[in-house]
């Protein structure tokens, strides 16, 4: 199956959408930064690479960058979502790559606190959460990963859903309502002993809150 994506086309069209937000958040520097260049380079290797180990290495480097830089978070939101979501569709057999993609999404949705700057500054993590939860298909794809056998795939999927619960609750609820068996999947998750092991009572409260308010 062909997993290729027109990376340049995605980067151009999505980047135009996010450019104004980037300048609002970061000033005139906007997305014109070395982080932007690095994110684009890593995504190109992930999307168009032919050597599995190089694609995984690029994913690891991307995740580290996104976890440390708000500029990288914004750049990733502008360019990376379709590419990494495509991995969940076309590269499910590459468990390490799927894990890396999930961990990168978690990093992109986790706020990075700054010692300086106005407290009212928009967080890229919040913007990214809204972008990811905007399409019901994205949430459906994430829920489908909860049925994967690999422990860490399920672990990072739960972390990602928890980040969406924190940053974009309403959109998440609306999406789950529209997904066939969406509530059933969450109920099955509550019956999973591994889920209790990972999150304990906090995980129960999170899942029950979603179910109880949709």
Question: Whole-angstrom Cα distance, residue 112 to residue 66?
Answer: 10
Q: Structure pTM?
A: 0.77
Confidence of residue 19 (pLDDT cuts 50, 70, 90): very low
Residue 213 clears pLDDT 60, i.e. is over it? no
> What mean pLDDT do residues 50-65 have?
97
Helix runs in 92-178, H state only: 95-108, 124-133, 136-145, 151-167, 169-178
Q: State the CB neighbour count (10 A cutoff) for residue 212.
A: 8
70-98 in b/e form (b: 16+ CB < 10 A) is bbbbbbbbbbbbbbbbbbbeebeebebbb
Alpha-carbon torsion (119, 123, 127, 132), positive or negative: negative
Q: How many CB atoms lie within 10 A of CB 23?
A: 14
* Stated length of the chain: 214
Whose structure tokens read 């990168």? 104
Q: What percent of the chain has pLDDT over 70?
A: 66
Distance CA 153, CA 173 (A): 22
pLDDT in tens, 32-56: 578 889 999 999 999 999 999 999 9
Terminal Cα distance for the chain, rounded: 37
Other Cβ atoms within 10 Å of 13 Cβ, number: 13
Which pair of structure tokens corresponds to residue 169? 């609750």
Q: What residue segments make up the domains of the chain, in order of their start?
A: 1-116, 134-214
């Amino acid at each position: 199956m062909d997993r290729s994506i027109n990376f340049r086309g995605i980067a151009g069209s999505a980047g135009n959408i996010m450019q104004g937000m980037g300048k609002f958040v970061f000033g005139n520097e906007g997305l014109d930064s070395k982080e932007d260049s690095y994110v684009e380079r890593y995504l190109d290797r992930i999307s168009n690479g032919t050597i599995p180990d190089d694609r995984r290495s690029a994913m690891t480097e991307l995740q580290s960058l996104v976890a440390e830089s708000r500029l990288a978070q914004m750049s990733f939101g502008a360019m990376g979502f379709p590419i990494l979501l495509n991995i969940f569709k076309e590269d499910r057999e590459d468990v390490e790559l799927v894990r890396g993609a999930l961990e990168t999404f978690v990093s992109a949705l986790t706020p990075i606190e700054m010692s300086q700057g106005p407290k009212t500054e928009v967080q890229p993590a919040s913007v990214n959460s809204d972008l990811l939860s905007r399409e019901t298909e994205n949430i459906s794809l994430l829920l489908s990963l909860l049925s994967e056998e690999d422990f860490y795939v399920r672990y990072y999927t739960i972390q990602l859903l928890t980040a969406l619960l924190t940053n974009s609750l309403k959109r998440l609820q609306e999406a789950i309502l529209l997904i066939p068996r969406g509530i059933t999947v969450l109920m099955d998750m509550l019956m999973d002993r591994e889920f209790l092991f990972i999150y304990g009572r906090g995980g129960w409260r999170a899942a029950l809150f979603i179910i109880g308010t949709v």
